[in-house]
Amino acid sequence: MFAHEFMRNAFLAGTFVALACGVAGYFVVLRSQVFAGDALSHVAFTGALAAAAVGVDIRLGLFAATVAVAAGMGLLGDRARPDDVAIGSVFAWILGLGALFLSIFAAGASGANGTQGVRVLFGSILGLSGGDARLAAAIAIAALAALLAIARPLLFSSIDAEVARSLGLPVRALGIGFLVLLAVVAAEATEAVGALLLLGLLAAPGGAARLLTDRLWWGLALSGAIAVASIWAGLALSYQIAALPPSSATIGIASGFFVGAALRAWAGSRQRRRESNPAPLAGVGDGI
Amino acid sequence: MSAELAALSWNPLVDLEQLTAFPFMIQALEAGTIVAVMAGAIGWFMVLRRQTFAGHTLSVIAFPGAAGATLAGLPLAFGYFGACALAALALSLLARPGRDGLGGESAAIGTVQAFGLGLGFLFVSLYSGQLTDLESLLFGTFLGITATQVQTLLWVALVALAALALIGRRLLFASVDAAVARARGLPIRALATAFLLLLGLAVAATAEITGALLVFALLVTPAATAQRITARPGPGLALSVALALAVTWLGLGIAYFSPYPVGFWVTSLSFGLYVAVRCGAHLARPRPAEALS
Distance from CA of A118 to the nearest CA of B (A): 8
Confidence (pLDDT) at A110: 45
Touching A: B residues 254-283, CB under 8 Å = 259-261, 263-268, 270-271, 274
Q: Average pLDDT of chain A?
A: 81
* Chain B interface mutation, best of A89, A120, A158, highest count of B Cβ atoms under 10 Å: A89
pLDDT band at A77; cut points 50, 70, 90: low
User: Which domain range does residue A180 map to?
Assistant: 5-193
What average pLDDT does range A175-180 have in this prediction?
88
B132 interaction partners in chain A (CB closer than 8 Å)? 113-114
Confidence (pLDDT) at A6: 82
Of B253, B222, B256, the C-alpha closest to B238 is: B222
- Alpha-carbon distance B21 to B24, whole Å? 9
Of B37-46, B65-74, B278-287, which range is least confident?
B278-287
A245 interaction partners in chain B (CB closer than 8 Å)? 121-122, 125
- Alpha-carbon distance A205 to A212, whole Å? 10
Task: Please give the domain boundaries of chain B with CATH numbers for all domains.
Answer: 12-292 (1.10.3470.10)
Distance from CA of A170 to the nearest CA of B (A): 21
- Which candidate from B49, B106, B138 shows the least CB-CB separation from A32? B106
CB contact under 8 Å between B216 and A92, yes or no, is: yes
For chain A, what is the radius of gyration of the CA atoms? 20
Cα dist. A109→A76, A106, A113 in Å?
37, 5, 7
Q: At what angle do helices A195-212 and A171-193 cross, to 10 degrees?
A: 130
Burial per residue of A213-222, b for 16 or more beta-carbon CB atoms within 10 angstroms, e otherwise: beebeebbbb
pLDDT band at A118; cut points 50, 70, 90: low
- Alpha-carbon distance A34 to B100, whole Å? 15
HSE value, Cβ hemisphere, 13 Å, CA-based, for A31: 33
Domain annotation covers residue A233: no
Q: What is the pLDDT of residues B102-160, one digit of tens each?
A: 566 788 888 888 888 888 888 877 876 555 556 666 666 666 677 888 888 899 899 99
Q: At what angle do helices B215-229 and B188-210 cross, to 10 degrees?
A: 120
The full 3-state SS of B234-288, as one line of letters, equals: HHHHHHHHHHHHHHHHHHHHHHHHCCCCHHHHHHHHHHHHHHHHHHHHHHHCCCH
Close Cβ partners of A249 (under 8 Å, ≥ 6 residues apart)? A233, A234, A235, A237, A238, A241
- Alpha-carbon distance A63 to B223, whole Å? 31
CB contact under 8 Å between A248 and B121, yes or no, is: yes
Of A83, A103, A98, A100, the C-alpha closest to A44 is: A98
- Which candidate from A99, A204, A254 shows the least CB-CB separation from B214? A99
Of A19-28, A45-54, B40-49, B56-65, which range is least confident?
A45-54
B92 interaction partners in chain A (CB closer than 8 Å)? 287
Q: How many CB atoms lie within 10 A of CB B288?
A: 8
- Alpha-carbon distance B222 to B55, whole Å? 14
What average pLDDT does range B11-29 have in this prediction?
75
- Check pLDDT > 90 for residue B189: no
Q: Say what the alpha-carbon torsion angle A38, A44, A50, A52 is, to the nearest 10 degrees.
A: -130
- Which candidate from A92, A102, A113 shows the least CB-CB separation from B221? A92
Q: What is the pLDDT of residues A193-226, one digit of tens each?
A: 777 788 888 889 998 998 888 888 888 999 999 9
Phi-psi map region of A116: left, alpha, beta (phi>0 left; psi -120 to 50 alpha): alpha
CB contact under 8 Å between B214 and A92, yes or no, is: yes
Residue in chain B lying closest to A195 (CA): B114
Residue A70, SS3 per DSSP? helix
- Which candidate from B50, B211, B259 shows the least CB-CB separation from A84? B50
- Alpha-carbon distance B205 to B227, whole Å? 25
ipTM over 0.85: no
Of A170-174, B83-87, B273-277, which range is least confident?
A170-174
Whether the CB of B168 is below 8 Å from some CB of chain A: the reply is no
Distance from CA of A9 to the nearest CA of B (A): 22
For chain B, what is the radius of gyration of the CA atoms? 20
Count of structural domains within chain A = 1
Q: Say what the alpha-carbon torsion angle B60, B62, B64, B69 is, to the nearest 10 degrees.
A: -170
Residue in chain A lying closest to B114 (CA): A200
pLDDT band at B197; cut points 50, 70, 90: very high
- Alpha-carbon distance A14 to A128, whole Å? 10
Could you give the residue ranges of the DSSP H alpha helices within chain A?
Answer: 5-30, 34-54, 58-76, 84-108, 115-122, 130-149, 151-159, 161-166, 171-193, 195-212, 216-240, 246-276
Q: How many CB pairs under 8 A join A and B?
A: 225
Q: Return the higher-pLDDT residue of B126 and A286.
A: B126
* Chain A interface mutation, best of B267, B279, B282, highest count of A Cβ atoms under 10 Å: B267
Q: Let me know if B277 is exposed, middle or buried by CB neighbors in 10 A (0-12, 13-18, 19+).
A: middle
Q: What is the pLDDT of residues B220-272, one digit of tens each?
A: 899 999 988 888 888 999 999 999 999 988 988 888 888 787 888 888 998 89
Domain annotation covers residue A29: yes
Whether the CB of B119 is below 8 Å from some CB of chain A: the reply is yes
Q: What is the pLDDT of residues A246-265, one digit of tens each?
A: 888 888 999 999 989 888 88
Q: Return the higher-pLDDT residue of A82 and B253.
A: B253
- Alpha-carbon distance B216 to B57, whole Å? 9
CB contact under 8 Å between B102 and A159, yes or no, is: yes
Q: What percent of chain B has pLDDT over 90?
A: 17
